[in-house]
Structure 1
Amino acid sequence: MTHQPISLSAPRHHRLLWPMMATLLVVGWSSGFVGIRYASEEAGVMLVLFWRTLLSGVILLPFALTIGPLLRMRGIAEQMLFGVMSVFLYLGGFALAIEQRVPTGLVALISDLLPLAIAALSQPVLGERLSARQWFGTAIAVFGVLIVSFDSLSFGAAPLWAYGLTVGSMLVFALASVLHKRRRTQHMPVHQSLCIHTLTGSVLFGLCAMMQGDLAPPLTRAFAVGMVWLVLIATFAAYSIYYTSLRLFPVAQVSAAIYLSPPVTMLWAWALFSEPLTAATFIGLTATLVGVWMTSRS
């Protein structure tokens, strides 16, 4: 297979399409923190993930059954596998690591290195080779993420396997992303695939939540607000835009936008929870913007 820089392999679209989709992706991806912040005040993480995925899947189910091609068992089975990888193992792995007392800042940093893993996998799996400029941009973006995350980094007393779990969860989602991109001719509509992903995740998260106690949701305002946020923004918006972008643009270019999630998350925390902004936030945001621009520009 001939290897070309990803900037040359992208299909031609309106020049504003990717900036608009990248902005929506970053806003949706970083907003998961807000929903978790509200909902986890009233329930354990596994229960929150169960209701997040169950509500998402149930809302999408009527549309998945009536709009789009007829769902066949082979396609459903393939999407269930992607659901296990991109929903259950990815979200659940990080949740379990936090419950095992891996510091949240370290978990967030490893999660935010997802684009680096995708960039590394995109060449051997997809034949999408990053140019020297794009690797340099990636390095700058990673540096920006480290600046933003530095103050919250610490190493706790969690078991060794829990630290490995965070890395493994990130790598599983990276692999799922490049495999999803690789299946160019057998894509089903995003609303159908996302429905299968979330319903698959809900079954597995439900089993985990039952092991910890009851599946009944807390009937509180904070939990309801958290669920609305997680379902509408962090699931429907973020995942839908992410999978749609994978079909239109090179996978490393799409994932590079996720580097902007840490500083944007800090802005969410400042706007909604009055958490202070530091100089490191703005320095890291600037560095990350430069890195993402270098990685994504044609």
Structure 2
Amino acid sequence: MLTNQQINILAAVGFVIMWSSGFIGARLGTAEAGSLTVLMWRFIVAAAILSVWWLWKQRKRMSITIVLWQSFIGLLAQGGYLLGVFLSVENGVSAGTSNLITTLQPIVVAALAGPVLKQNTTIKEWIGLLIGILGVLLVVYDDLGTSAHVPIWAYALSVMAMVSLVTSTLLEKKFDFSAPLSDALPIQTIISALLFTVIALVSNQAAPPVSYDFWVAVLWVAVLSSIGGYGFYWLNLTLGSVTRVSSLLYLTPPVTMIWAFLMFGETIGFFTIMGMLLCFIGVWIISQKEMRQWKAKRCIEM
């Protein structure tokens, strides 16, 4: 039987791998079609898979309050976050710059965790957060500064994406309208599928290309990124503090670089390697608080 510590580690590793897969899937998909087309079919496929599974499990009825709440969380965490990132990059912001902006999320969450959730961030955790963001800066260094002549509102879209994920994270942790992950994730995914379908239809980007590679990419992001990435994100949120969970985002740029190296042969330079090390050190420092709490609890139980 797995211990709590082992479960936390497996959940963290699963989240980092699945979340980082989304950037690779987006690259595969947008090579075949526009970002809104990819997002629409990504969530339609993910919603179909989760709906079949949910019906098969024959879940109990949920209150309308919980359904509406989880729909709202889904619109923020999936709709607002992904729409902001994709449109920002599509309008000229480099992937590295957008990645750096959205990866400010752990610092914003840590700053708000005290007043919103009464979860104080320690000095060591702040040090870990700053080391982590420095690591991300080095990882995406080569891609920074390539967003020439980009309108300021395009950068604001990346900020909007980060704020959407921060807001959904804090709201889900603070208010008692949560549902089991097996119920919450299908609701969030279905509402996101409706959102992106409407946007794609209005913008005449709904028709998928006749391409085998496109559907491989859609299946990739639907299963790994939507179901796996968000599933592990909410799972980690139930297991630990928002600061620790958010800090795991620091590990996604390095892991994405490893994905890109293995799949596309992209080079990993000195700055990237140093950035990776700093990201891991930062997350390790942040995780020590909960490790000490877990050990203290074990000692009391023994």
> TM exceeds 0.5?
yes
Q: Which residue of 2 aligns with 1:86?
A: 77
Partner residue of 1:21 out of 7, 11, 31: 11
Is the Cα–Cα contact under 8 Å of residues 51 and 227 in structure 1 kept in the other structure?
yes
Instruction: Confirm whether residue 158 of structure 1 aligns to residue 150 of structure 2.
Output: yes
For 1:249 and 1:209, the matched residues in 2 are separated by: 36
Partner residue of 2:66 out of 64, 75, 85: 75
Q: Deviations over 1:64-101 (max 9, x none)?
A: 34443313322111111111111111100111112221
1:176 Cα offset (Å): 0.6
For 1:205 and 1:156, the matched residues in 2 are separated by: 29
Higher mean alpha-carbon deviation, 236-245 vs 199-208, is at 199-208
Instruction: Confirm whether residue 56 of structure 1 aligns to residue 46 of structure 2.
Output: yes
Instruction: Confirm whether residue 179 of structure 1 aligns to residue 171 of structure 2.
Output: yes
For 1:160 and 1:285, the matched residues in 2 are separated by: 29
Q: Deviations over 1:186-215 (max 9, x none)?
A: 321212211111111112211221233242
For 1:262 and 1:191, the matched residues in 2 are separated by: 28
Give the partner amino acid of 2:195: L
Instruction: Confirm whether residue 43 of structure 1 aligns to residue 33 of structure 2.
Output: yes
Give the partner amino acid of 2:152: L
What is the SS of the residue equivalent to 2:5? coil
Q: Which residue of 2 aligns with 1:205?
A: 196
Give the partner amino acid of 1:170: M
1:14 Cα offset (Å): 2.4
For 2:168 and 2:243, the matched residues in 1 are separated by: 13
For 1:158 and 1:207, the matched residues in 2 are separated by: 27
For 2:170 and 2:205, the matched residues in 1 are separated by: 36
For 2:173 and 2:283, the matched residues in 1 are separated by: 20
Q: Which residue of 2 aligns with 1:169?
A: 161
For 2:278 and 2:89, the matched residues in 1 are separated by: 28
Q: Could you tell me the TM-score, scaled by structure 2's length?
A: 0.90
Partner residue of 1:113 out of 94, 104, 107: 104
- How many equivalent pairs are there? 285
For 2:236 and 2:200, the matched residues in 1 are separated by: 32
For 1:44 and 1:239, the matched residues in 2 are separated by: 22
Higher mean alpha-carbon deviation, 233-242 vs 66-75, is at 66-75
Instruction: Confirm whether residue 31 of structure 1 aligns to residue 11 of structure 2.
Output: no
Q: Which residue of 2 aligns with 1:3?
A: none
Q: Deviations over 1:138-195 (max 9, x none)?
A: 1111111111111100232222222122112201211110111113x43212122111
Give the partner amino acid of 1:97: S
What is the SS of the residue equivalent to 1:277? coil
Is the Cα–Cα contact under 8 Å of residues 41 and 222 in structure 1 kept in the other structure?
no
Give the partner amino acid of 1:216: A
Instruction: Confirm whether residue 280 of structure 1 aligns to residue 281 of structure 2.
Output: no
For 2:233 and 2:58, the matched residues in 1 are separated by: 20
Is the Cα–Cα contact under 8 Å of residues 35 and 225 in structure 1 kept in the other structure?
no
Q: Alignment identity in percent?
A: 33
* Gaps in structure 1 of 5+ consecutive residues: 1-12
For 1:196 and 1:93, the matched residues in 2 are separated by: 21
Instruction: Confirm whether residue 190 of structure 1 aligns to residue 181 of structure 2.
Output: yes
Partner residue of 2:120 out of 123, 129, 136: 129
What is the SS of the residue equivalent to 1:92? helix
What is the SS of the residue equivalent to 2:140? helix
Give the partner amino acid of 1:195: P
For 2:6 and 2:155, the matched residues in 1 are separated by: 40
Q: Which residue of 1 aligns with 2:297?
A: none
For 1:87 and 1:14, the matched residues in 2 are separated by: 28
* Gaps in structure 2 of 5+ consecutive residues: 293-302
Higher mean alpha-carbon deviation, 66-75 vs 106-115, is at 66-75
What is the SS of the residue equivalent to 2:4? coil
1:17 Cα offset (Å): 2.2
Is the Cα–Cα contact under 8 Å of residues 74 and 191 in structure 2 kept in the other structure?
yes
Is the Cα–Cα contact under 8 Å of residues 113 and 170 in structure 2 kept in the other structure?
yes
Root-mean-square deviation (Å) = 1.5
Deviant stretches of 4+, over 6 Å:
none
Instruction: Confirm whether residue 241 of structure 1 aligns to residue 232 of structure 2.
Output: yes
